[in-house]
């Protein structure tokens, strides 16, 4: 039986993960002239492709960590719960970008599942340190993120927040 407490923990996890992944997008929209520093410093591997790509920036990482820290505190958690969640989401996002570059998919190119799973699974697992989420609940949070991310991205595209509808 699913309790209200279980649903609330899952909702908190989903909100924190979505905040972490959305913060870099909002940063670029709110500060359009900001100078961005790529995490990979423009470096390429032996395959001639960038390590992560131009769209993965230090400002985005800090926006994710800072925004998720703030949201976690508003939800009544310690600051480090949000910071760890944001950092884990960005680690998952960088992992996704690394895999996509190796597959020959350009920066900001779409790769279903590769884009969503690491950036939801890593922070969901990190959150189990503070939120009593079961393995099934973690998987449900990741599934919800996966299902909601594409329609939400399309909505944000139509609202002019995102550059691409995915």
pLDDT score of 143 more than 80: yes
pLDDT tens-digit map of 97-117: 999 999 999 888 889 999 999
Q: Where are the domains of the chain?
A: 4-158
Average pLDDT over residues 4-32: 95
Q: Do 142 and 134 contact (CB within 8 A), yes or no?
A: no
Give the per-residue pLDDT at 163.
83
Q: Quick: pLDDT tens for 75-104.
A: 999 999 999 999 999 999 999 999 999 999
- pLDDT-derived band of residue 162, with 50, 70 and 90 as boundaries? confident
């Amino acid at each position: 039986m699913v309790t209200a407490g279980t649903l609330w923990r899952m909702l908190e996890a989903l909100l924190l993960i979505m905040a972490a992944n959305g913060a870099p997008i909002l940063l670029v929209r709110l500060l359009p002239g900001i100078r961005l520093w790529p995490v990979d410093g423009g470096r390429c591997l032996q395959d001639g492709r960038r390590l992560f790509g131009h769209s993965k920036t230090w400002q985005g990482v800090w926006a994710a960590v800072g925004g998720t820290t703030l949201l976690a505190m508003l939800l009544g958690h310690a600051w480090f719960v949000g910071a760890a969640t944001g950092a884990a989401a960005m680690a998952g996002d960088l992992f996704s970008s690394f895999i996509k570059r190796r597959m020959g998919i350009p920066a900001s190119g779409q790769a279903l599942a590769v884009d969503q799973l690491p950036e939801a699974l890593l922070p969901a697992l990190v959150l189990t340190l503070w939120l009593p989420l079961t393995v099934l609940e973690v998987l449900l949070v990741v599934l919800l993120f996966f299902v909601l991310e594409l329609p939400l991205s399309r909505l944000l595209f139509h609202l002019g927040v995102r550059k691409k509808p995915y």
